[in-house]
Each structure stands twice: as C-alpha cells, then as structure tokens.
Amino acid sequence: MSAGEFAVSAAAAGMAHVLHHPLYTLKSQMMFHGPKFSIRSFLGDVWHRPVGFLYKGLVSRTFGIMPEKAFKMQGWIFVGRYMESRFEKPTISKWIVAGAAAGAATTIIGCPSERAMVLAQVQQQQGQGFREVVRKQGLSGLYHGWRATLYRDVYFNMTFFTFREIFVSHWRRRSEGQAPSPWMRVVLGIPAGCIASVVACPFDVVKTRMQGKELLGHDGRHCARIMWDIVRHEGPRNLMKGLLPRLIAVPSMMSWFYMINEELEWAFLRTRHV
C-alpha cells in the first residue's frame, strides 16, 4: 500500500461521509433511545439547530473515518490479491475472507472516532467528546464497545464486498465483459449495502447503546448480554431500530465511497504512468 493509494482512499471516505452524516445522526438517535425515541422531538431539534444538531460529531468522525476507510479498502485489496495468488479460482471464498479482513481493519482504526461521534450525537450535555473521554477514561475509553463494533464491521463488510462483487460480475457477463460505468457501480453497490445493513443492524444497535453511555455511566455488560436484554425487555424488533436511516445512509455511502475510491485510484495510477 503506497502513501498515494492510502491518501486516495482517505479522500474518498471523507467526501462520502460528509454527505451522509445527518442520516448517521438520525440512526444513532434511534438506536440509542430505542422505544423512547421520538421523531417529533428529533425534528424539533433539527428545526431549532439544523446544522449544529445534524452535524454533531462531524469533525472527529470525519478525521477518524478517513484512515478507517483507507485501511478498510487497502485490507480488502491486499487480502484479495493474496487469495488470488494462492488459489486458482477463489471467487466467493476470496471475497468473504477479504471482506472480513476489511471489517477487522475498520474496527481497529475507526472505533475511537465512532465512540466520540455517538456520544456527541446522543448526549445532550456538552463535553462528551474525544478529549473528555480520554481525560476521564483514558485511551481504553475510546474503545468502549469494540467487540460489538468488530462483529458489526466483520459481518457488514463480508456481506457488502461479496454481494457487490457478485453483482458486478453478473453485470460483466450480461454486458459481454464491458466494465460498468461509475454510476452503475454505485447502483450495483446499493443492494449489496442494503443486504449488509440488515445483517449487521443488531450489532450496530448494541454498539450504539454501549458507545452512547455517559462517561460515568458504564455498566460493564458484555455485548451479548445487552443484545439479550433488548430482546427480553424491548422486543426483538428493537434490534432493528434505526434500520431505515441505516438503509438510506450506509449503502449509499459505501457505494459512493467505493466508486470514488476506484475513480481516484485510477486517476492516480494514470498520473504515475504519464
């Protein structure tokens, strides 16, 4: 992985996330508050502070998501190329393993900024951001909820990358080997992102509950225990709370990120060979 390729992926991630951050605010609110979430209250906050409320946690998350998505994409590419060199025709197995590697890389890099973003989005009081977490809980506080984040990212990326490659391969066969256009690659990525979003949603709910706790409100429960408590006290459907904004935001963002990354990387490679 060259510095140029890393920078390309980071730039693509930053551009894609800024466009979708308001939907992530809605998703975090719905997942954290569960049955107590009120769309009327949410819209009231949007009406009074449209930019300040919808873009809470943007700065820390954008700076965090740029290296996170860069490592995601490079992990996907590196493991995929390794599988191709070791196995004659790995296809789906290659995509599953490479997607899992991309998810693991995402968690290691992205968990701290996601913790700060969720706190900013769901807590009313100020001073719940990145620096305050480190001051009160140390660096380990930034990785609160990392297991649920890992499960979510591994399942999501395994599913997303595998189905996207299946859809792109099918498109190539139908179009006699012609590569899909940038817009068509976005379109092909959206159903893959929708399937992945549904698969990973329960882990995202648990992660948001864990990461959105007040800094002095950590109850020490394991993510499996939180998932069981949600099912027992709120009903199984609340494991899918926030699925609608997730279905709108995540597939679109990942599809745009992947397409922008490919276009920027091809442009970068062309400039190197000029």
Asked whether residue 8 carries a pLDDT value surpassing 90, the answer given is: no
Tell me the pLDDT tens digit for each residue of 40-93: 988 998 898 888 888 887 887 777 778 787 888 878 888 887 877 877 676 788
pLDDT at 92: 85
pLDDT at 145: 83
State what percent of residues in the chain have pLDDT above 90: 17
C-alpha 132/C-alpha 240 separation (Å) is: 30
C-alpha 266/C-alpha 21 separation (Å) is: 27
pLDDT at 156: 94
C-alpha 12/C-alpha 260 separation (Å) is: 6
pTM beyond 0.95 = no
The two structure tokens encoding residue 193: 């992102």
Asked whether residue 196 carries a pLDDT value surpassing 90, the answer given is: yes
